[in-house]
Structure 1
């Protein structure tokens, strides 16, 4: 059964008519009451006026009645000619005999009053009224005067009042109509503005998340009725936060506006694009969704590859896109969106600037990730996290110069979970902050324990994540750990990756300066994988750089990696920084790095990461066998 539908415009007209009808009814009732009230006032005034005149006639008729002088009575009545409303009058004895009479024009003479009139004093007819007054002599009734007046003047005055009242009512109704129309226009304007705010993104002018949900539901219902498919593209701009942090939100908003324009240009007229979040867009493909999703995604990535001119900046933006198709990738809106989101994050995990079609196995990966997060939340409480330590050796004399604390997760059922699996989960979920705090405190306590065991003052390096650098309590947590364990700030080295440093350069420079002021050593981890340059190195107050293992792995033999490694070492030394090479696993790698001037080695060639118990052997004999480091 169809549900009757009333349009907003039709409803507005009915509301206008209802308001006007209510106003008209109120005015009509008020007018009628006023007219009735005015009629009663006029009638009472007429009764009072006739009563006064009848009283005068009564006083002047005493002698005529006492002496039965009809002529004198007639003269008295003739004085009523001055009152145009009086039609006739008469003087009567108590027995009802008429002593004298007066008539105006062709008016009929008055007759002796009926007993009811004598009792009431006056009565009204349709066109006239009659009034009677007794004539008294020494407080004794000797007769009475009857006066009859026409109601023409009363009706005339009443009609004039009715006309005035109706004119005022009509004017009020017209004013009410104009006011209602004006109010209705304002309401419609407010409704339109509210609808705009509810459905349109103010930055890009695109439909927002609310409108996206409505349009996607409509598209899915159309497929349910007529068949076909609907494609959904979820697009997330890669590293957009860096633009906001470095250039400001105004530039960020302008960039979003330009991105939206390019996205619109990439789509067909039937497609719908919406902005559903800060840097997230959604595209609804309502035809040929199964084949067009990948083509349009590729077109979008190509369009975004060109730089965006924002003020004086040329900004490069990439995107990660996830694609799902209804009905095969989801039976309802929520599932379709979730699966597109899953595909989008897979595109990000593949290195960003890519698109990914949803596949069932991707959902399995998401479920695995969720399970991993749930278990990771309990890992700290259950004591499943452990710290391993990997020694670092001086290439100059083979002495052990420090240890890097490496996080390990020993799950009772899953066994040793790879850091490559759980560290990204901890970072995304925010668990990295409490975990990082635990790593820092545990490493400092272990160094204190080794010192108490007579193993000397060991230097330890701890990695900081992106989330930790944004934690307002970070510096206080570090200083508290040092105070609690009695560890010297110079024994602690904090490693931060290039990518993390570049997320918010100004804030990170301030953070590093504060840490350096406290005497803590600072190192750039995975150097060479991000924004490696002399300019960036000069900006950050650091003591050391670590060459990423990806460059060490293929040397010697890979000319590019050899050139990059040599350049990093030379660049760092020119700024007075020491250099650590991680991932050293062969003698050939060691020889190349020694010749290039590298300062410190770390890798399986020297020692694997070990538990605190295993690492004590290196602390008791803190040099590498001489055959491993040859001058």
Structure 2
């Protein structure tokens, strides 16, 4: 299916004619040797042609990126990753038509697409995107590979080819910022978002060097007794230039440039030191939970870093819990499972965070080396008035109990939610009903005022 109009069809036929073959030395200047696709040099030439002769046509430039490609390359090897690139290139050629797809660099591709349908562009792209997401067969194994796409409309002819390509790249970055595995059409405000991201990225380096970060602590409670079981460590950033910066504004940026590795290491050491200090003051049954990102988990030095921090702080590994989101655990488990199993054997606990927000099956859940299920706060929101949410919450607690897992409800904010959860003996919870995240000094004061458990982390659930 060729999607390019007559004027470009003729041009592409000429481009792929007798002179454009592997015997022609120029071929290697304009084509990617691995996939055989035209390269960025030829892309810019073709975009210039579209811009000059087709001002009224609905030209679109699409930038396509394989989600988590580095993770695939690092875990499966370069040969496997190269096979994947060739298969994706072939799929792009089949979906968009031969001659319309290009390989720019690494796992990034581009497509020149002519939107000549009466449908809205977003609607036209939906079935195309679904075709690209179908399983890929590699070495006789079918794999689900997620893609992200950024799209820029080129019909006005007011920008240069490089500017159009940059707009598509900006849209792609916004897709990644929103969670990947989707596509977005460039809008003007996205450029402002990119400028903000560049500003934050630059300031993050300074923030780490100048110790502008602080760890706050939110208590995790035993519902029926009101005892503090432990704390979750949460990073906060008070920037001299930007003021208080919400974590959702800088965490993803830190992940993309891998600053999350030194930042995460600092958070972990601070949290372990904090809870060890409480142990030394007589509160030796308290536990600490620390969030871990996929970038940290994929880092070769992560495991040794965790164990070294435990050794330096003197914290019992059984008092540390690493929280990993459901999506990361399920999507990336094949790449991180050995590391998680070793951490578990060392005594460290693993929690599945945001459970219910993703798509875990019970079969997958039973295979994961986890100790704790944290019910996502979306189920706490209005669940007393929402029968399906209430049913799911009840089922998750029962499933966790049957599987021998600890269960914690996140986002508990009202007396009614608290009272409902009390029917499950010793269930854990956290949320603003108990306390918002607080600085270290306030957390220490909280421990002195409230009872702490005379027992270990594990509790039994008596179902009503």
Within the candidate set 50, 65, 74, 1:219 is matched to 50
How far apart, CA to CA, are the structure 1 residues paired with 2:136 and 2:391?
33
Match of 1:448 in 2: 276
Larger radius of gyration: 1
Which deviates more from structure 2 when the two are superposed, residues 194-203 or residues 354-363? 194-203
The correspondence of residues 158-177 of structure 1 with structure 2, limited to 5 A, is: none
The correspondence of residues 397-412 of structure 1 with structure 2, limited to 5 A, is: 397-412=225-240
How far apart, CA to CA, are the structure 1 residues paired with 2:236 and 2:215?
6
Contact 2:225-2:426 within 8 A present in 1 as well: no
Contact 1:585-1:603 within 8 A present in 2 as well: yes
Contact 1:569-1:597 within 8 A present in 2 as well: no
Match of 1:613 in 2: 441
Match of 2:63 in 1: 234
Match of 1:568 in 2: 396
Unpaired stretches in structure 1, ≥5 consecutive residues: 1-187, 625-630
Match of 2:30 in 1: 199
| Deviation string, structure 1 residues 533-552 (Cα, Å, up to 9, x no partner) | 33222322222111111122
Contact 1:544-1:577 within 8 A present in 2 as well: yes
Following superposition, the deviation at residue 443 of structure 1 comes to 1.1
How far apart, CA to CA, are the structure 1 residues paired with 2:27 and 2:262?
43
The correspondence of residues 273-422 of structure 1 with structure 2, limited to 5 A, is: 273-285=101-113, 294=122, 296-304=124-132, 307=135, 315-316=143-144, 319-326=147-154, 328=156, 331-350=159-178, 352-422=180-250
How far apart, CA to CA, are the structure 2 residues paired with 1:586 and 1:368?
36
Contact 2:330-2:360 within 8 A present in 1 as well: no
Match of 1:520 in 2: 348
Following superposition, the deviation at residue 583 of structure 1 comes to 0.8
How far apart, CA to CA, are the structure 1 residues paired with 2:425 and 2:445?
28
Match of 1:426 in 2: 254
| Deviation string, structure 1 residues 579-614 (Cα, Å, up to 9, x no partner) | 111111112222333335672111111111111111
Within the candidate set 387, 405, 411, 1:559 is matched to 387
Instruction: Give the total of aligned pairs.
Output: 435
| Deviation string, structure 1 residues 13-60 (Cα, Å, up to 9, x no partner) | xxxxxxxxxxxxxxxxxxxxxxxxxxxxxxxxxxxxxxxxxxxxxxxx
Answering whether residue 318 of structure 2 is matched by residue 487 of structure 1, we say no
Answering whether residue 40 of structure 2 is matched by residue 209 of structure 1, we say yes
Helix, strand or coil at the partner of 1:595:
coil
TM-score by length of 2: 0.81
Unpaired stretches in structure 2, ≥5 consecutive residues: 1-18, 453-463
The correspondence of residues 38-187 of structure 1 with structure 2, limited to 5 A, is: none
How far apart, CA to CA, are the structure 2 residues paired with 1:455 and 1:299?
58
Which deviates more from structure 2 when the two are superposed, residues 232-241 or residues 460-469? 232-241
Following superposition, the deviation at residue 526 of structure 1 comes to 1.2
Which deviates more from structure 2 when the two are superposed, residues 489-498 or residues 348-357? 348-357
TM-score by length of 1: 0.61
How far apart, CA to CA, are the structure 2 residues paired with 1:300 and 1:367?
31
Contact 2:117-2:124 within 8 A present in 1 as well: no
Higher RCO by CA contacts (8 Å cutoff, separation 6 or greater): 2
Match of 1:595 in 2: 423
Match of 2:361 in 1: 533
- Structure number having the greater helix percentage: 1
How far apart, CA to CA, are the structure 1 residues paired with 2:393 and 2:76?
32
